Structure 1
Amino acid sequence: MAEWTPCAKPAETIELRPFLLPAVRDCPVAGKGLPLIVLSHGFRGTNLSHHDTAEAFADAGFVVVALNHPDDSALSKDKGPSLKALTNRPTDIKRVIDFMLGASPDAAKIDPQRIGFFGFSRGGYTGLVLAGAEPDFQQLRRRCADPTGADCKPIDPALVPTSTLTRDPRIKAFVIADPLSSAFPTRESVQVISAPLQLWSSEGGGDGVSPKDIARIAANLASPPEHHAVPGSGHFAFLTVCPAALAKSLPELCTDAPGFSRAKFHEELNSKALAFLKKHLPVQP
């Protein structure tokens, strides 16, 4: 788990390969009654996949925590996608919030009434479930090179989980970026959501995410979300800007369309997400 907090000391450069982070290790938390934001990464992501967004939130006075989902991160032993990961993800987030409000040494600094969420891809799915959405796992299709191929077929009904998924009403506002959208095909899937929601969608989609599906989610919500469609973007544009070594080893995650600046886009993403969270997690009188 990684945590960012407001800090009164000037940032140093910390190397956490492959990233260089502007931070101060173990800096005393500056302030009290601070809002908490929990970040949820996508398939095979890590707690550093959105570190620039976490830094922007912390610099603005938020406590930010990001985890490596045990069944679904780059560090997981099981490297394939699984329904187990999708059912466990919301519980992972609940446990992180429990810790941050309980056993964490920073618990006394956090306002338990001001909790928000940022999630990308499967992390976006996670946020929708926490907010009350009901996924239809039969609508998910296996990852496959050819979506029309014989191996790209519906999930085996025997693998569909029957347990109740975790919700968390302590989360008061959600920023959802390019969520795994095919799991929510109907109005009934998402209509129960009542918390404020900022929804982001890429133009190109990818990795099982469809812009049309996200537009359908936006239309099916009981209250219209603050929806931002990002021209020229692909699915992975929501990941932090890649350092050179990562861009070389994982070009599919790091390469954007010609003319699209991920760095410039993240200035907009972080600014608008921050404004949304400040609006819906106001300082309590």
Structure 2
Amino acid sequence: MLWKKRYFEYFMRVLGAGMPRMGFKAVPSWSRVGSLSGILLLLSFTVADGVFAAGFEPLEVPAADGEPTIEAMVWTPCANASGSSEIGPYSVQAVRDCAITGQSLPLVVISHGYGGSLLGHHDTATTLADAGFVVATLNHPGDFYGDDSGAHELSIFESRPRDVSRVISFMLESWQKREKLDPGAIGVMGFSRGGTTALILSGAVPSVPASTERFCRHWWSFVDWQCRRLKTGGARIAPNTDSRIGAAVVMDPLNLFDTPGLESVRTPVQLWASENGGDGVELQHVEEARAALPQLTDYQIARGAGHFAYLTPCPPGLEESAPRICEDPEGFDRVSWHGRMNTAVVEFFKRKL
């Protein structure tokens, strides 16, 4: 089959590649095995006791009306015994095609950061699924590990929210198990520019002048792609709000907003920051968002951590090949932090959805 040939060629390139130049990129090259074809090829299963009871299945949202195909993954409450699946370097606490338990289940869509993948937050996805949520993760076309063709254009901040809305519509209207969902209980979670995506979906209005002032004040900003785009005559980022969103978890977002643009958010927000920041995100930027959001429900800072602390903890092999995004400052325990963080995310969505 064509997808097998394409994936084999791509996987061999990944094996021979080092870490890419990161910029705002949030997920390492090893996570490239998160593509739909890669998952279908690489999945192998080992059952273990005492782990999350979550299921998962690959999903493809078809191209329509000029919009591209979206590769996605659905994580669901599992009616069978818990187990783990090895996907590339990750041990994912879920089993494939597990029977779904429960009715009227809330839906949460997770948006990754620049160059990320649908596996970049799999521990949060499985924790939510274990708690009774259906979760959809996706690869944003033009801005994921295997396709960055649109990642350096301002229009990506318009297409990303549309991607999430398309996934929501597919889940509610075309997913084979859509009768399991509660269409009135939909949330979104995003990291880095995925956090920006979550805010836009929740009603935030991007501001080119505010973004230019925030990111492009330094003399060297002329070499930054984002600043070059922001300073182009007629630059704009149109908002794409989705009124179906009932709650948003926003992690270390790229702040493209002014105060009025954030005051337009009418969705309850749980906001997270990293003390040390990184890849264009600074604690001050998140603090500015905190001050402006009218329905901020919860705000927490990962003390002593950098930007990538919000990515799922790295397995040993990935720690060796991608230390930049896997290694945390001394004294910060990412595994422990994710345990507390995931619990807080579940509690927030349970309250709000």
Paired position in structure 2 for 1:275? 347
**Equivalence map 1:24-63=2 (5 Å):** 24-63=95-134
1:159/1:12 CA distance change after superposition, 3 Å: farther
2:140 matches 1:65: no
Instruction: Provide the rounded CA distance (Å) in 2 between the counterparts of 1:269 and 1:61.
Output: 17
- How far the C-alpha of 1:223 sits from its partner, in A, is 3.2
For 1:100, what is the secondary structure of its paired residue?
Answer: helix
2:90 to 19, 32, 49: 19
1:256/1:79 CA distance change after superposition, 3 Å: farther
Tell me whether 223-232 or 64-73 shows the greater mean CA deviation. 223-232
For 1:233, what is the secondary structure of its paired residue?
Answer: coil
- How far the C-alpha of 1:28 sits from its partner, in A, is 1.5
Supply the AA of the counterpart residue of 1:251.
P
Paired position in structure 2 for 1:87? 158
1:224/1:9 CA distance change after superposition, 3 Å: closer
Paired position in structure 2 for 1:207? 279
- How far the C-alpha of 1:115 sits from its partner, in A, is 0.6
Instruction: Provide the rounded CA distance (Å) in 1 between the counterparts of 2:204 and 2:321.
Output: 36
1:6 to 58, 63, 77: 77
**Equivalence map 1:193-204=2 (5 Å):** 193-204=265-276
For 1:35, what is the secondary structure of its paired residue?
Answer: strand
**Equivalence map 1:1-285=2 (5 Å):** 1-78=72-149, 81-140=152-211, 148-149=219-220, 150-152=222-224, 153=227, 155-158=230-233, 160-161=235-236, 164-181=238-255, 183-184=256-257, 186-281=258-353
Q: Is the 8 A contact 1:42 1:122 kept in 2?
A: yes
Q: Is the 8 A contact 1:71 1:84 kept in 2?
A: no
Tell me whether 252-261 or 72-81 shows the greater mean CA deviation. 72-81
Bigger radius of gyration: 2
Q: What percentage of residue pairs aligned between the two structures are identical?
A: 40
Instruction: Provide the rounded CA distance (Å) in 2 between the counterparts of 1:121 and 1:137.
Output: 18
Instruction: Provide the rounded CA distance (Å) in 2 between the counterparts of 1:36 and 1:223.
Output: 21
Q: Is the 8 A contact 1:9 1:24 kept in 2?
A: no
CA deviation digits over 1:177-215, x for unaligned, max 9?
Answer: 00011x11x211100111111000110011101111111
Q: Is the 8 A contact 1:83 1:159 kept in 2?
A: no
CA deviation digits over 1:58-117, x for unaligned, max 9?
Answer: 000000000000011112153853312211000000000000001001210000011111
CA RMSD of aligned residues (A): 1.9
- How far the C-alpha of 1:252 sits from its partner, in A, is 1.2
How many residue pairs get aligned? The number is 275
Q: Is the 8 A contact 1:90 1:166 kept in 2?
A: yes
User: What TM-score do you get using the length of structure 1 for normalisation?
Assistant: 0.91
Q: Is the 8 A contact 1:138 1:160 kept in 2?
A: no
Greater helix percent: which structure?
A: 2
1:34/1:180 CA distance change after superposition, 3 Å: same
Q: Is the 8 A contact 2:202 2:267 kept in 1?
A: yes
Any unmatched runs of 5+ in structure 2? 1-71
Instruction: Provide the rounded CA distance (Å) in 1 between the counterparts of 2:135 and 2:201.
Output: 18
For 1:171, what is the secondary structure of its paired residue?
Answer: coil
Instruction: Provide the rounded CA distance (Å) in 2 between the counterparts of 1:18 and 1:137.
Output: 39
For 1:195, what is the secondary structure of its paired residue?
Answer: coil
For 1:271, what is the secondary structure of its paired residue?
Answer: helix
Instruction: Provide the rounded CA distance (Å) in 2 between the counterparts of 1:223 and 1:22.
Output: 33
Any unmatched runs of 5+ in structure 1? none
User: What TM-score do you get using the length of structure 2 for normalisation?
Assistant: 0.74
CA deviation digits over 1:212-252, x for unaligned, max 9?
Answer: 11111111122344111121111000000011222222211
Supply the AA of the counterpart residue of 1:120.
F
